Amino acid sequence: MTAPRRQSQRDPLRPVATDLVRLAAALSVVLGTLGWGFMGFALFMLVLGGSMIPRALGTPAPLDLSYCATILVGAWAAMLDWYLAVSWLDVVVHAALTGLVGAIGYAALERLGLFGEGMARLGVVVVSSTLATTLALLWEMGEWFGHTVLDDRIQVGYEDTLGDLGAGVVGAVVAAVLLALSRPEPEGSG
């Protein structure tokens, strides 16, 4: 089994840019709590927790940085109503973030040793995109629950949910293909 490549401390992106985004996520917990109470606290704690995952997995710095920056920008866009102000932003964030979540999720499963000696590229695409799409579906169900039970200011609706899921599936497949192409094909597969 090959675990995800751990970044050395000499990687200039790892200790500076990625950890600055994590610091911004930690500061966002405070700002979110002050500005929006429990909902701000809950959202930014989710972001902060999520931003620690690629660090723990030792994912490559570009994936770490893009994932952490996207979840942080996505959360602030929700809190500041940017999705209402910029109509296309929601689907772009859902596409990007769903794909990135799939790549991080695949790295986590690989780290757990679920794939033995490696997986063929087609398998990487199937597992990563399926995982990402499933998590996107769970996110949309969480948004509905949050809107229905916690705070009706959480933006949901039939068209919003379908648009988010559609964008998420596209982002998941594109990211899964890119992830698969970035990996060597295991011997004997094809």
Per-residue pLDDT of the chain (190 residues; tens, 9 = 90+): 444 444 444 555 556 788 999 999 999 999 999 999 999 999 999 999 999 999 999 898 999 999 999 999 999 999 999 998 998 999 999 999 999 999 999 999 998 988 877 788 899 999 999 999 999 999 888 888 877 887 777 777 778 778 888 999 999 999 999 999 988 776 665 5
Assess whether 73 and 86 both reside in one domain.
Answer: no
Greatest Cα pair distance, the chain, in angstroms, is: 56
Of 56, 49, 48, 68, nearest to 7 (Cα)?
56
Residue 118 lies in a domain: yes
Distance CA 82, CA 24 (A): 19
Q: Where among 49, 65, 80 does a domain terminate?
A: 80
Assess whether 103 and 66 both reside in one domain.
Answer: no
DSSP 98-117: HHHHHHHHHHHHHHTTTTTT
Assess whether 92 and 166 both reside in one domain.
Answer: yes
Assess whether 70 and 131 both reside in one domain.
Answer: no
Q: Which domain holds residue 44?
A: 17-80
DSSP 139-160: HHHHHHHIIIII-TTS---HHH
Q: Where among 58, 80, 102 does a domain terminate?
A: 80
Q: Where among 80, 104, 125 does a domain terminate?
A: 80
Which uninterrupted H or E stretch holds 39? helix 19-57
Task: Give the count of domains, the chain.
Answer: 2
How much of the chain is in helix, strand and coil states, percent to nearest 5? Answer: 75, 0, 25
Assess whether 75 and 86 both reside in one domain.
Answer: no
Distance CA 66, CA 84 (A): 23
Residue 3 lies in a domain: no
